[in-house]
Chain A
């Protein structure tokens, strides 16, 4: 449009009439959208503001006689990551199996209903999982754990003495795994269903069995999806509070042993157990551990979402 060197006598650009209703409405939506950014920023700022006194906390303000804040939070970070890692180890293979079952093995008619059934697991409140874990699961698995210690006690992970109550970190990992199964399953199922039909049919036409078709067409296509689904599950497991707080018999220590009665506790469970009675700097210390949990989960989710966003079209919230 710049070819004509004539004076700017061109008609003024047509502009839609600005109505007050439009202005108000669009501003309202922008404000609501920005509120989300503000909230995230506020979460960070207020947590930091409230946790500053913790970084210089004296030993007598810290439970368990740690020298400074970092010595206090170290075992908690270890416990958080260790429990989440164990849960992931149990949940990921199961979730991939379930997702494959729903997407490729179950009869078409049943598939959606079966998906709902698995989603029901996600709807059960975590405190109910906690109750179930401690009254049903822990007594149920305790004999297995003592057999494991009897047979494989020489292996460091299964070192004795075995816990008499079954309230060990491995039991917690099972509960956590059940809780994160639905999210990993839902995401993996979505991406398995997106596998190009032509790839699958080509594999079958070449004489592949169903498993060979899945191995050559579905799994390579779904690998990034599985990775990010697992990381989102990891994020959930890291922040899960009540189930861990109720099932675990906690200590603040670093230990890899899975079946003993002294277990490393997690940040979230530690906050939930100690917050109601905390006072003074103790509150700030707990908030500071929460800040660290926030940073860890934010990083995990950030990476997972960055991977997901390279392949759009699915999200954990739908």
Chain B
């Protein structure tokens, strides 16, 4: 394929690259996209001039322009390239659009939460409770404390149980028990959060014989029901990644099995397990429904998990929104500030978890 000999035949004709003949140049789809936007945009401008719409509808212009582009792109490609490449382009544009459409709610949501949450994202919000507050002022300190206590307690329950279960499944489990646990853990990940709340309520109402029971510890139990399966699954995956050679080397040195697990297997996989636990926390910290049912809501500070109602951040957001007082805007601002706090916590947990996974994971030889 070197160019040492020039082809002698028909030297006058320009040499066409057979790989790109019959294929639209790369810039054509982009050109078509801009053209369709301009066309639809000018239609909207004409409509506006004719008095049908009062103002220029940007969303509509982009939406219908993009829809027009999908069709035009297909037709142009079909005429120029043939039906099969046209179909390919059509699907490519649909698939890319699907991704862009999925990004829209995320961007819109983050923008709304930040822009609406900033006005009350101030010091009093983090240093005051809602006790004796009507209208403006007040804060979410009681809710933040409640969230930290309940989520912390749920983590304290879930991590030992989840981790031990994962160890059982990976290191000990054989036969029916292990298989049914694996399966039911998977099924448990799908329990609706409100059912977990109802379970905690039914459980404690019967056991403590208080028909209208509300307390923080019940919320922690409800969150544990949701959190344990997540911890089990992620720790199990991480423990499975530990190479068998490490275990065998420990056994060969006469180390007992339990010490092998504690001193060799767990330290190797601790980064992954930490990541899994943090992601599990970020999943339950925003749960509203179970806490609404079993932990209830209050305006006052309550540090005691085992007595009386306890406010949490998601429930704070919900109640501020649902029970707007006379000065509705003050309640809405607090709700949005609470939402912003929640989103910041969750995003931070996610980010730190990913960093932990990246930085501290053992470098396996693969």
Give the B-binding residues of A (Cβ under 8 A). Answer: 19, 21-22, 24-26, 28-37, 39-40, 42-43, 46-47, 49-50, 93-94, 96-98, 100-102, 105-106, 114, 116-121, 123-132, 134-137, 178, 181, 185, 209-212, 214, 232, 235-236, 238-242, 246, 268, 271-272, 275-276, 279, 283, 286-287, 290, 293-294, 297-298, 300-302, 304-305, 308-309, 315-318
Contacts and interface: CB of A to CB of B under 8 A. Distances in A.
B194 A121 contact: no
B191 A123 contact: no
Contacts of B101: 94
29 contacts: A21-B256, A29-B168, A30-B172, A32-B163, A33-B168, A34-B177, A34-B181, A39-B188, A40-B184, A43-B196, A46-B206, A47-B202, A97-B99, A125-B288, A126-B288, A126-B289, A127-B317, A131-B113, A131-B339, A209-B87, A211-B91, A211-B92, A242-B288, A246-B322, A268-B194, A290-B195, A293-B192, A297-B191, A316-B190
A93 B94 CA distance: 10
Residue from A35, A39, A94, A137 with most neighbouring chain B CB atoms (10 Å): A39
Contacts of B354: 116
Nearest to B259: A21
B172 A37 contact: no
B201 interface: yes
Contacts of A185: 102
B249 interface: no
B289 A49 contact: no
B85 A209 contact: yes
A123 B347 contact: yes
Nearest to B84: A209
A129 B87 CA distance: 36
Contact of B190 (A19, A214, A236): A236
Interface of B: 84-85, 87-88, 90-92, 94-99, 101-103, 105-106, 108-109, 112-113, 116, 160-165, 167-169, 171-173, 177-178, 180-181, 183-196, 198-199, 201-203, 205-206, 211-212, 225, 228-230, 232-234, 237, 256-259, 261-262, 276, 282-283, 285-289, 292-293, 296-297, 314, 317-318, 321-322, 335-336, 339, 342-343, 346-347, 350, 354
In order of increasing CB-CB distance, the 10 nearest A-B pairs are: A239-B192, A125-B286, A97-B98, A317-B233, A32-B164, A301-B190, A29-B168, A25-B258, A209-B88, A241-B289
Contacts of B322: 246
B46 to A, nearest CB: 19
Main secondary structure on chain B at its contact with chain A?
helix
Residue from A30, A42, A232, A317 with most neighbouring chain B CB atoms (10 Å): A317
B173 A33 contact: yes
A97 B287 contact: no
Given A47-B202, A316-B186, A97 B192 contact: no
Nearest to A179: B105
Contacts of A37: 180-181, 184
Nearest to A25: B258
A287 B194 contact: no
B283 to A, nearest CB: 7
B286 A211 contact: no
Given A209-B84, A241-B288, A309-B183, A32 B165 contact: yes
Residue from A101, A120, A128, A308 with most neighbouring chain B CB atoms (10 Å): A128
Contacts of B283: 123
B98 A50 contact: no
B96 A241 contact: no
A235 B168 contact: no
Given A97-B98, A125-B287, 12 more contacts: A32-B162, A33-B177, A97-B97, A98-B102, A127-B339, A129-B109, A131-B321, A241-B288, A246-B321, A276-B296, A293-B194, A317-B234
